[in-house]
Amino acid sequence: MPADTLSATFAALADPTRRAILARLTSGEASVTALAEPFEMSLPAVSKHLKVLERAGLIARGREAQWRPCRLKADPLKDADEWLERYRRFWEESFDRLDEYLGEIQKQEKKRGGNGRTKEDNDARSK
Amino acid sequence: MPADTLSATFAALADPTRRAILARLTSGEASVTALAEPFEMSLPAVSKHLKVLERAGLIARGREAQWRPCRLKADPLKDADEWLERYRRFWEESFDRLDEYLGEIQKQEKKRGGNGRTKEDNDARSK
């Protein structure tokens, strides 16, 4: 388990089963048995995942002996989101570059007098 | 290394050194030596982190034999951000609850005729 909170959050999210458990908990609290159901997994295996999520502060568990429902605690995800926030302009920039590139292709098409359609498009239109 | 892309992204982010490397690369490409400088870490240790980032598609490396600069590739972070997106309402909800709670406290203060200041505030004001 990583020492810092943000690393613990990201480590907990680095598993498809744990992400599926969190997704399930968005519709309300659930028992371990209910959480285990959709996965072909033993209860101890699911419990292990729940412990990782609980230590990362992503879920909390009820204190009733028989029924210890799990519920989502989304606050650590807010910190993860804030960390990602400052990288947003970088992926937006790469989309801008793609836009520029596509614009350039269209301009070249026009210069060549093409209509930007493929042979298949024209075949389809002539039917 | 996790098999699915999103898990690989989160696993790569689950380390403070790797996050610091990505942060450094937001200001432009850098050599391994330059990246290693701020950390008290051997070059092989830094190279290991770079390999994790590269496999997760978060950095790309130049092909020049002597100078293989690393640069940020933010696209996998977009998918991580989209995954987090659907949990946003849950942390916003918990802030709403905190707001409600603070509003409730203020109302009770008014009822009791209190001004919401602490003894220390009043001491400071009377000086």
The per-residue pLDDT for range A58-112, each reduced to its tens digit, is 999 987 766 789 999 999 999 999 999 989 888 877 666 767 777 787 888 887 7
Percentage of chain A lying above the pLDDT 70 cut: 80
Query: Can you give the pLDDT at residue A116?
Result: 46
Beta strands at B59-61 and B70-72: parallel, antiparallel or unpaired: antiparallel
Task: Kindly state the tokens that stand for A18.
Answer: 């744990």
Query: Can you give the pLDDT at residue B102?
Result: 75
Choose the closest CB to B15 out of A7, A26, A80.
A7
Q: Tell me, letter by letter, the H, E, C secondary structure of chain B.
A: CCCCHHHHHHHHHCCHHHHHHHHHHCCCCECHHHHHCCCCCCHHHHHHHHHHHHHCCCEEECCCCCCCCEEECCHHHHHHHHHHHCCHHHHHHHHHHHHHHHHHHHHHHHHCCCCCCCHHHHHHHHC
Q: Which residues of B touch A52 (CB under 8 A)?
A: none
Q: Which residues of B touch A11 (CB under 8 A)?
A: 10-11, 14
Q: Do B22 and A87 touch (CB under 8 A)?
A: yes
